[in-house]
Amino acid sequence: MAASSQVNQELIESLVTLFSSFLSSEWTRKRAPYRLRESIQSTRSSPPDSSSRIFLDRGGFKAWLAYFFATTGEAHFSGRQARQQLIAELHKLPVEERARIAQRVTASDIHPSAEVLFRSMEQQTVDTQAVGFDTVGPKRRRQDESPTRYDEYPISPPHSTLPTSNQPRGESCSTHIDRSQTYTDSVLAEEQGQVVTGASIQGLLNLFPEYISGAIRRDGAADQMTAAVMMNFPRRSFGDVACIMTLVVLANKVERLAMLLFGAHLESDGGIREVVLQDGARLIPSPQVILQGSHSDAVSKVFGSETAGAIAAAPFRRREILEGTRATRCVTMTIFRESDKTALITLTLGLREGFQIHDKLYT
């Protein structure tokens, strides 16, 4: 019995190490995996006792993504058979054992090179639900096109995957016009999307008011320092979203920004963040909570008039206005359980305005 217990514990440790390695090792990808949103939607509809569903329900997106990476990807690589055997053993474990593995994977650290892209991918899966996108509808990539593999694109911030990212600044105006016109003319409608990370500090200061520009995390050092800002221009089939901007904000700025943007009262107790509700009820992130719905005056005050105008130009915001929705869901904030962790603010922008902001931040 003791020998069986020891073997079981060794198996569990091996599985935790396997899944965690996909998060803790350096990432060389700079785009989300192909059909990520479809995969997570499929997981949500799978049986509750399936491993993928357990990892999502009991460990959250972080554990699920590690499971996704471990069970998909390259068809042939050294150690593939050993990994498959290990995962086959996972499926034989009781539900609670698999849940504990998922929770331990969630507790593992994310490599610094992965943090911004990981948070963006997490937010996109949330946005898919919140906005009600048709993730399996007819607007999909053509069947004769080969999928874009996530491991073929190395991360190299602050460089952009936009075609004009390396153009001299003097050419940015004309290329901006061509770029947005090309996109709206559907030439890029079937592309996987465009992503850029690592904004210039001066561009950040030129775009945002003082408080939010100071609240965004800095990466790198000296003349290589950049701001933790990601802009994502998804392919046209991503519903009403033309441009997504993600900001990584410092842990000590989270509580005030939550109040300014959403009127949400946050407190920290024993290193754990809590959302204090009316009459004293408390909501504890597990492992995160997402605030959504910000009024236009709060958006303008925090982000400035240019960014507020870009949000107002977003197709989804225009639809909200027609429906009489005052607090826009184009502004969300992802807050994590641990009070020393950064938070994510995600903004949905209009396409043309998004390109203009891109040129200010990355050229």
Query: What's the pLDDT at 143?
Result: 36
DSSP code per residue over 314-336: SHHHHHHHHTT--SEEEEEEEEE
Q: What tokens does 53 get?
A: 């569903």
d(CA 153, CA 46): 30
Same domain, 358 and 242: yes
Backbone angles phi, psi at 309, to 5 degrees: -65, -35
SS3 state at 134:
coil
Joined together, the tokens standing for residue 138 give 């007819």
Examine the fold and report which residue of 46, 73, 107 is the final residue of a domain before the chain moves on.
107
Radius of gyration of the chain from its Cα atoms, rounded to whole angstroms: 21
Same domain, residue pair 169 and 65 = no
Is 82 a domain residue? yes
In a domain, 342, yes or no: yes
E strands along 115-234, which residues?
193-199, 218-219, 226-234
- The verdict on residue 145 lying in a domain is no
**Strand 218-219 and strand 343-349: pairing?**
unpaired
Helix (H) / strand (E) containing 138 = none
The amino acid at 114 = A
Say how far apart CA 182 and CA 160 lie, in whole Å: 17
| Number of domains within the chain | 2
Shared-domain flag, residues 181 and 318: yes
Structural domain range at position 316 = 156-362
Residues 233 and 319 in one domain: yes
pLDDT in tens, 78-112: 667 888 889 999 999 999 999 999 999 998 888 88
Looking at residue 221, its amino acid is: A
Residue 125 has a pLDDT of 66
- Does residue 76 sit in the same domain as residue 192? no
Residue 60 has pLDDT above 50, yes or no: yes
Judge if 32 and 160 occupy the same domain: no
Question: In this structure, is residue 120 part of a structural domain?
Answer: no
Same domain, 286 and 196: yes
Q: Which of 190, 161, 168, 150 is nearest to 69 (CA)?
A: 150
Structural domain includes residue 119: no
Boundary residue ending a domain (92, 107, 122): 107
User: Which tens digits make up the pLDDT trace of 17-54?
Assistant: 999 998 888 888 777 887 787 788 788 878 888 999 99
Amino acid 143 reads Q
Three-state DSSP at 74 gives coil
Say what percent of the chain tops pLDDT 90. Answer: 42
Q: Count each helix (H run) and each strand (E run) in the chain, helices first.
A: 14, 10
pLDDT tens readout for residues 112-171? 888 778 877 877 666 544 433 333 333 333 333 333 333 322 222 333 333 333 333 333
Same domain flag for 163 and 230: yes
Residue after which a domain boundary falls, among 107, 122, 140: 107
Kindly report the pTM of this predicted structure. 0.57
Q: What percent of the chain has pLDDT over 70?
A: 75
Query: Does some domain include residue 303?
Result: yes
Nearest to 219, CA basis, from 205, 234, 229, 209: 229
Same domain, 299 and 183: yes
